[in-house]
Structure formats: structure tokens, C-alpha cells
Structure 1
């Protein structure tokens, strides 16, 4: 069994869909299906149940998934140790400066335990660049929020956060149990500068064109609400500053916390980072 084939198998086992797995692997579906069929033939066992309703792991496939993850993890660690011995073990992580996230602390601890000799360089960005420097090529991997332009990027969801309307505590709407974006249609919203990713901008403006003050950072968002009585969106898990409150917004999709990296980047440090991130955020 080749490591490449095992990576194909793991992708299908995690996605439980050949089309999604092929997209994740940046390949077409027919060669992926052939590779899995050849693996089943070599092992003399069926790894997936296939039906019109989808793909399921067989008991044999579940065993192989555990073993394949262990083997691939070991292979990545070998590459990392060799890179460390050569003095080249560094990874640059872009982080969106939107809050102190306890999952990031858990991820940092887990990554340091797995790769104690890897130097992790952190580049924090403001809200004007949701890719945290990926498109500019200044980071290897980003911990950020969607949605944004994913052209040329691979994105894995780590968590979803419901969102709410950020208001002054004395705002008449602050007494409501919930709000809809339509309830805020006549209000001024904080906006991001011209040139900010339009997909990102549209989401945080509730899907509608808005008017209001321009901000670049979370603290500027809060101050715009506090000083001007403007409104905006924020994850419900964010603790509002004194004088502010958050009211849940219904009819709005949650904010996706994601790991993202450039398509085709085979750096094993990135692969290991993403695997550890998924475990940390789901743990």
C-alpha cells in the first residue's frame, strides 16, 4: 500500500462521498474510484458500502481508517523530524484578530506536544483580510472565519458559531429575545474598508448594502456601536464590552471557523496542523 493511496482512502472515509473527496484531493473522481477499487482488491476486502443514498464504511474500512491515520501521522512526523534536523522546521500561521478563542489555546498546546521542535510564527491580521495573508503568500495556514473568496485555497471547517446583533445596552432593540436582519434595515452598520473581500463584507452586513462608519478591527466595531449607536454582527460567544449587548439573530447562517491553506501545498507541517486543529476544535 502506498501512502498516497492511503490518503485517498482517508479522504473518502472522512467525506463519505467520492465527489467531495475528489475535490478535497484536487483530482477527478474516476481515478479516485479506481484507486479505492484497487486497494480493496489488494486487501481482499470491501472497504465501502456503496448505494444510491451514499457511501458508508464497512467494519473492515473502519479498522483500516484507524490504521491509515496512524501510518500517515507517523509519516508526517518523520518528515517533520527530518526538516527539524535540517533546520527548516518552521510554519507561519495567520490568525484573524477577532477574539481570544479557547480552542486556539488547546490547539497550540496540542501542536507543541506533537512538534516540540517546530517554530510557529504567528501573523495576526485585522478584519480587512479574512484569509490572514494566504492570498498574499505570507502565511502557510490560516485560522479564520468564513465566508470569503476561496479561490486557490483548501478550507476545512472547524466549528460554527451562531451570530447576534451587537447593540448598545440602552438600545430599544436590546430588550428583544431575538432579531432578524430586517429589524435592523433602517439602522447604520459598521462597514469594512473598500476593497475588502465582498463575500466576507456581504455576510457581516447581513446580506444587504449598508451605510455607516468604516472599521478594521474588533475593538473598532465595538467602539463604533458604543459611540455612534451603530449596529453590526458578532459571534454570540464573544463577550460584549461594558455598555454593549448581543441579541441573537435568526435567519442568519452561523459564522464558520475554518483552517485554510493554499491548494497544492504539500508541506507536512500544514497537514499535521490541520489534523491537530480538527481534533482540538472537536475535543
Structure 2
């Protein structure tokens, strides 16, 4: 069988999503007859039926269900290839995707080590709640992620382990404790399970004036100052931080940053 074209995969996926030839055609911006002919031709070339068609409904056959999984994989791989090609032509600073709750200490050490290595250069922070998506889309070069995140399509290496702490106003009744629990925090009106999308300094300011209580990694307490107290959260595990990049997308600037990360994590002070 001849090699399939991207257009054929796109037609098949559109019909598989809609399970309706008319709606799929409208989504693709074509009329229904050529779409039906293209799917029939694809089935003849493959030698298996991909859809069961009746006057009332369209469903995937077992072969169609298997082919849909493979088609998604091929299209995702093509998206990654496009992102890598765009990245290869992009000049400028190394883009680091990180959660707003990642503290300055870890970032400072990474950036400082990176700038001192051959191949190191300027960096720029990309603050986002979905670092993995930013990497896959080519909006960032490397990202600091948690081990529990969706890491599909990404290469990674272990970076550091952090205690989980709650940032509390210095005068808060819980700030005097050796540790707090999630139940303690959930009882507070200003507690937010997810930090707002903001720089660490902004989070600290919100906590200091009593408008926010939030859980972050221990390194985020580096800039807490006297007005904010970090208190360990007893019933939350330590967080394993990873450094990740697109699968197969290891460039020289990313390699330099990886070398810097290894230098930082090997330091006795960490």
C-alpha cells in the first residue's frame, strides 16, 4: 500500500471525532461527497472497514478504533516536528517554563550556573500553570515540572526534592506552629489550593497583607521576608522537581542548561 498522506489522516480523524460525515465535512471546510469518497478510498487502500455506516449512525469498527489511536500518534508527532523546526530557527534567550510558585533560590542557582558555562546565555522565564503544554507547543525550551505532571512527549531528568510549605502572614495564628495540615488550611477563608498566576514577589505581597494563604515548594520562601512565615504541611509529601524538554529536542543551549542543573544539584549546599 502507498504511504498515507496527512490529509487522509486528517479526514479520518475528523469523521472519527464527529461520527457524522456532514459535521466532519463542515469542520474541514469541504462538502460531504468528497469526504465520503476519500474515506471509502482509504478503506479500500487499507483493505479493512474503518466505519460502520447506517442511515442513522456512523460508528468506528474495531480496526477503526485501533487506527484512530495510531493516527493521533502520527499527528502529534507531526506537531512536535513542526515545533522543533520552528525552534531550530528561533534565536533569542533560552525560555524556561516554570510555575509561579517556584522559588527564586532554585531558579537563581540554575541561571547563575548556566551563565557561567560554555554555551550558556540569556534566559527568560515563562510563567505558566501548564509547563508541559508550553514545552510541547514550542513556547518554552525547558521546564521545571513536578514528577506527577503529564510528561508524555517529554524527556526529563531529576532536579531536586522540595518540602511543601504553606505561606502564612506572620501574625496568623497558624504561623506559630511547627507544621499545619490541609484541614487547617482549608478552614481559612484566604486559602487557595492553587497559587494565582503571578510572580513569587506578588504572591508574597498578597500573603503579607492577609489576602492569601497558599501552598508552594520550599524554595518559594526565599523571598518571604519577615512579614510571611513558611510552615511545613504535614500531610503533603515532598515534591520531586524535574527538568524537562521536548522528546528528541535536545539542542546545545538546552544541553548547557542541563549541565548547569547537574552542577547545581551536585552542590553540597543542596
TM-score normalised by structure 1 residue count: 0.51
Q: Report how far residue 94 of structure 1 moved.
A: 0.8
Matches within 5 A, 1:178-189: 178-189=179-190
Structure 1 stretches of 5 or more lacking a match? 1-87, 192-204
- Deviation, structure 1 residue 110: 4.6
Of 250, 258, 262, 2:234 maps to 250
Q: Which runs of 5+ in 2 are unaligned?
A: 1-89
2:245 to 225, 244, 261: 261
Q: Give the structure 2 partner of residue 99 of structure 1.
A: 103
Partner of 1:231: 213
Secondary structure at the counterpart of residue 120 of structure 1:
coil
Secondary structure of the residue that 1:159 maps to in structure 2?
A: strand
Equivalent pair of 2:94/2:124 in contact (CA under 8 Å): yes
Distance 2:214 2:136 in 1: 26
Query: Which string of whole-angstrom CA distances, capped at 9 and with x for unpartnered residues, describes residues 125-152 of structure 1?
Result: 2253434931330332234555433222
Contact 2:185/2:191 (8 A) holds in 1: no
Q: Give the alignment's Cα RMSD to 1 decimal.
A: 3.3
**Whole-Å separation in 2 of the counterparts to 1:160 and 1:189:** 27
SS at match of 2:161: strand
Decide whether the 8 Å contact of 1:189 with 1:231 is kept in 2: yes
Tell me, what secondary structure is at the counterpart of 1:133? helix
Aligned residues: 175
Query: 1:140-183: per-residue Cα shift (whole Å, max 9, x none)?
Result: 22345554332221221111111211111111111111111122
Aligned residue number for residue 142 of structure 2: 141
Alignment of 1:105-116 (within 5 A): 105-108=108-111, 110-115=113-118
Under a length normalisation based on structure 2, what TM-score does the superposition of the two structures give?
0.53
Check 1:225–1:107 CA distance in 2 against 1; reply closer, same or farther (3 A cut): closer
Which of these two proteins has the greater Rg computed from alpha carbons? Answer: 2
Deviations 1:90-148 (A, max 9, x none): 762315364322x5555445545541xx3634221225343493133033223455543
- Residues of 1 paired with 2:114 and 2:216: CA distance? 28
Q: Is the 8 A contact 1:167 1:245 kept in 2?
A: yes
Matches within 5 A, 1:40-119: 92-94=94-96, 96=98, 98-101=102-105, 104-108=107-111, 110-115=113-118, 118=119
